[in-house]
Amino acid sequence: MNPRLLYPLLALAAALLPARPARAAAPPARPNIVFVLSDDHSLQTIGAYNLRLSKFCRQQGVTPNIDRLADRGGLFVNSFCGNSLCSPSRASILTGLHSHAHGVMTLDKPIRPGVWTYPDSLREAGYQTAVIGKWHLASTRPTTDYWRILPGQGDYWHPDFIGPNGRETHAGYATDIITDMSLDWLRQRDKTRPFMLMVQQKAPHRNWVPPPRYYRWLADVRVPEPETLFDDYAGRASAAHDQKMEIARHMDLAVDLKAFAPDKWPGEMKRMTAEEQADWIAVFGPRNAAFTNAHLAGRELTRWKYQEYMKDYLRCIKAVDDGVGRLLAYLKAEGLEDNTVVVYASDQGFYNGEHGWFDKRWIYEESIHMPLIVRWPSVVKPGTRFAPVVQNIDYAETFVEIAGGKVPEGLHGRSLVPILRGQTPADWRDSLYYHYYDAGHGVPRHNGVRTDRYTLVHFYRTNEWELFDRKKDPQQLRSVLGDPAYAKTVAELKTELLRLKTAFKDDTE
Ligand code: CA
């Protein structure tokens, strides 16, 4: 077109169009929230955390998408649970309360009737809400607009989901299905309203059943062993000696390591089709034959178990990471990246052979830590490592503050939004309260307090105490409770434990 004609036409069009509102006058859109919660994912198997296995995980590409999230957002290095077990931690995340107050002190208990959960406030604030995947809160049902949850622990293969209209089976591998369902929900949402999506993966929970695409991955590499794989528990109270979570003595060759024929497999692998079972046998059959012929015993057997456990665990994590990558790609493609807060966490930590253990439960380091990574463009400076002591009781208030909603009085946690903004309140906590009640894996009830340097533990049924000076003993190998040099510290920490117990009104034992 002749430019002399074009310019007057453009001017006319501009005059007819409504004026674009000034940028400053537009109210800021409330951010969306995507919260990915996995199950039993340890910090040391996330590259970004720079812990024992992080270098290996970076080299092997175990968590490239989660690492990218941390690189472009912030990572909490002092993030903890208050009771290291699935159901209690999930209930604390939802309610902002410690176990004794929400009622989920052990596994498979519902949240006490009438207790507030954060999706209530998000809905009130006008958010669309959804939870998809592992829920694990007995008869408690989500109060989100949309929910599809696994019954109990759920299955890795062809899992059942429960929704408002009952139960249905989905064909395929759980981690991928949960991601698919999450993306489907995002696609059909009301695009005029903000949303909160909770993507709750079952993986990498025991019995660590990986997807077929990763059966061969890591087969030829050696996972670094922890220095404490053959810990003798000297220097600790009776609990560490009496537990039942040792790779050597308690990890099951049939169910955990699938070292025998399919009739000995865990139940969830029996849900595979004949073809899927054949695919598994084609890869792991030769491994199992070699294992049987090797007649391993003693430390060599423990080492074999550690390798195979870790490889299945990491294969499960790799699929979780794939799901994170797909969610991030969707947000980017839809132009939602800048205005969506993405959070990655797991319900507690996990032992990857440290102290010879798998599982969690203890107040000790690998167990009590929770990964927590937050990407919030325009608020969180990329690559930040947040040092304040945060807990799962803080998530509920954080999500509600991000959404501009209201929380009830009397919650135990505090919003992390000031910390995310780089303005940690002067009166932020510097010690944390812990109370574990379940009896699983032979770990007795205990409570305790953890500060930046010390961990004080009370096994109150036997009235045994432990004190760890983590500055001198980061692996927590020797309790210094009886050492006179620590008498003053012990007295101070006992006072602090009592203060916390009283402040949270915890009279349970
Ligand atoms: Ca868990």
Domain ranges of the chain: 440-503
In 267-344, where does DSSP find H-type helix? 274-294, 298-333
Q: How far is the CA of 396 from the centre of ligand 1 (A)?
A: 18
Q: What is the largest CA-CA distance in the chain?
A: 94
Q: What is the gyration radius of the CA atoms in the chain, in angstroms?
A: 25
Enumerate residues 6+ apart whose C-beta is below 8 A from 318: 61, 62, 63, 210, 214, 217
Q: How far is the CA of 491 from the centre of ligand 1 (A)?
A: 33
CA 99 to ligand 1 centroid distance, Å: 15
Q: Are 245 and 358 in contact (CB under 8 A)?
A: yes
d(CA 195, CA 414): 22
In b/e form, how buried is each residue of 393-426, taking b as 16+ CB within 10 angstroms? bbbbbbbbbbbebebeeebbbbbbbebbeeeeee
In the reported structure, the alpha carbon of residue 109 is separated from the centroid of ligand 1 by a whole-number distance in angstroms of 14
Q: Could you tell me which of 319, 133, 291 has the C-alpha nearest to residue 215? A: 319
- Cα 351 to ligand 1 centroid, rounded to whole Å: 12
Ligand 1 centroid distance, CA of 484 (Å)? 38
CA nearest to 440, candidates 87, 203, 151: 87
Cα(40) to centroid of ligand 1, in Å? 4
Question: How much distance in Å is there from the Cα of 435 to the middle of ligand 1?
Answer: 16
Residue 80 has phi, psi (to 5 degrees) of: -140, 160
Strand order in the sheet with 446-450: 432-436, 446-450, 454-459, 464-469
Cis peptide before 207, with omega less than 30 degrees from 0? yes
DSSP letter, residue 251: S
Gap from CA of 45 to ligand 1 centroid (Å):
15
Map tokens 């003595």 to a residue: 249
Q: Separation of 282 CA from ligand 1 center, angstroms? A: 31
Give the CA-trace dihedral at 279, 281, 286, 290, to 10 degrees.
150
CA of 426 to the centre of ligand 1 (A): 32
Q: Which of 167, 286, 147, 297 is CA-nearest to residue 219?
A: 286
Letter string b/e over residues 272-309, b meaning 16 or more CB atoms within 10 A of that residue's CB: beeeebeebeeebeeebeebeeeeeeeeebbbbbbbbb
Q: Nearest Cα to 377, choosing from 136, 128, 29, 58?
A: 29
pLDDT score at 173 = 98
User: What tokens appear for 485 in the block?
Assistant: 């040099």
Q: What is the pLDDT of residue 130?
A: 98
CA-CA-CA-CA torsion sign (363, 420, 104, 256): negative
Tokens of 343: 């959070």
CA of 87 to the centre of ligand 1 (A): 7
pLDDT at 29: 85
Q: Count CA within 13 A, CB hemisphere, residue 487.
A: 2
pLDDT for res 28:
65
Residue 107 Cα to ligand 1 middle (Å): 10
pLDDT at 197: 98
Question: Ligand 1 centre from 140 Cα, in Å?
Answer: 17
For ligand 1, the distance from its centroid to the CA atom of residue 349, given in whole angstroms, is 8
Residue 27, pLDDT score: 58
* Residue 293 alpha carbon to ligand 1 centre in Å: 35
**CATH architecture of the domain with residue range 440-503:** 2-Layer Sandwich (3.30)
Distance 270 CA to ligand 1 centre (A): 23
State the distance from the centre of ligand 1 to the C-alpha of 438, rounded, in angstroms.
13
Strands 390-391 and 79-80: parallel
Q: Ligand 1 mean position to 423 CA, how many Å?
A: 31
Segments in the chain below pLDDT 70:
1-28
Centre of ligand 1 from the C-alpha of residue 85, in Å: 6
Q: What pLDDT score was predicted for residue 9?
A: 52
